[in-house]
Amino acid sequence: MRVVDAHADDDIATCEDAEGSRSDVLIGLVAPVAIGDLLLVHAGTALLRLHTNAGDAA
């Protein structure tokens, strides 16, 4: 999911998935985040920030 709104004083960011659906995501494991960051989200929590230039494995 991509971060579309984040506040420095909160551990929640608003994120948008590929279909445009938005939800609040806990970012305590990856903070701080910036608008536009791509996050791997599971059960409402960001597990890590994805680096879009990561090498392909296969």
Residues that bind other proteins (CB under 8 A): 11-12, 18, 23-24, 26, 28-30, 38, 40, 42-45, 47-48, 50-52, 54-58
| Closest distance of CB 21 from other proteins, Å | 11
Q: How far apart are CA 57 and CA 54, in angstroms?
A: 9
| Closest distance of CB 28 from other proteins, Å | 5
Terminal-to-terminal C-alpha distance of the chain = 23
Of 47, 43, 41, 11, the C-alpha closest to 26 is 11
| Closest distance of CB 44 from other proteins, Å | 2
